[in-house]
Structure 1
Amino acid sequence: MELPVVTMAKVINSFSLPWLDNVFRGSIPPAYLEKTDNTTMLITESMNEPQVSLNGRHKGWLMGTELQIFYKVGAQFNTQDAEIDLTSRLEQLGYKTETRARVKDPDTNQVTKVLFATWDLLGGTGNET
């Protein structure tokens, strides 16, 4: 079984989102930390725990990732539409999504958005890619 961040990175990359320049797992490389002319997504693990115990054995596993988007400064696309499209695509694949409000990073002036995507391996969702 691959790590949740690996699975999610594969899914996000398969979408070929025209507004997304970089996808990183775990952390953003130092060379990209100050780049405000790119839209970057950081994928980190938010959940990885056993579920559904039957006869003392785990019969499922709940996986989750946090998708943190750093929009490029002066983005020339509708970020709301991008987020709706992204969550819709994830939900079509069986992921459950949840979002937080956009926040402006005081250091870079980038607007950031956090989304969460979870899936249960017992139900078979989220691992078809």
Structure 2
Amino acid sequence: MLATVKLKELLDGKGFDEISEVYANNLPKELEENTDKTIVLLTESNPSIEMSGNNTFFGKTERVEIQIFYKADIDYDIEAFEVELLRFLTSEHYSIIDMREHSIDPDTLQLTAVFFVALDKII
């Protein structure tokens, strides 16, 4: 299963109240300008093979970029939500490998956040 699909299922299963919808790999065209929902987009980011030996490999690191597009009318504490999200991911054995600064989408004026996570697997 693709790393993005696996993470989508994990986030959907957790049921964060702050997240309206989670998408893996691409965002539907009709949602690109939406500002009424908090949307999470998951995309693959630089996977790699690990634990090489005897002309083969025995591990894989799956990396996923998590982009959060916050709804325009925020009615919850973003920092508290992000801490809860990151703690949940680490409890599911993901490593937080990078966090980018919050920014404003120039087209929709939505606040956005970007995180990169990794999951090491033995194959």
TM over 0.5: yes
Q: Could you tell me how far apart the structure 2 residues matched to 1:44 and 1:76 are? A: 27
Q: Could you tell me how far apart the structure 1 residues matched to 2:66 and 2:38 are? A: 13
State the SS of the aligned residue for 1:121: strand
Q: Could you tell me how far apart the structure 2 residues matched to 1:65 and 1:19 are? A: 20
**Corresponding position of 1:111:** 111
State the SS of the aligned residue for 1:38: coil
Structure 1 residue runs of 5 or longer lacking an equivalent are: 125-129
Q: Which residue identity is paired with 1:114? A: V
Q: Which residue identity is paired with 1:61? A: K
Q: Could you tell me how far apart the structure 1 residues matched to 2:92 and 2:37 are? A: 27
**Corresponding position of 2:31:** 32
Q: Which residue identity is paired with 2:101? A: A
TM (norm. structure 1) is 0.91
**Corresponding position of 1:71:** 70
1:47 deviates by: 2.6
State the SS of the aligned residue for 2:16: coil
Q: Which residue identity is paired with 1:115? A: F
1:93 deviates by: 1.1
What's the C-alpha RMSD, in Å, of the aligned pairs? Answer: 1.1
Percent same amino acid at aligned positions?
Answer: 29
Structure 2 residue runs of 5 or longer lacking an equivalent are: none
State the SS of the aligned residue for 1:107: coil
Q: Could you tell me how far apart the structure 2 residues matched to 1:116 and 1:79 are? A: 18
Alignment of 1:1-129 (within 5 A): 2-97=1-96, 98-122=98-122
Number of aligned positions between the proteins: 122
1:83 deviates by: 0.5
TM (norm. structure 2) is 0.95
Q: Which residue identity is paired with 2:83? A: I
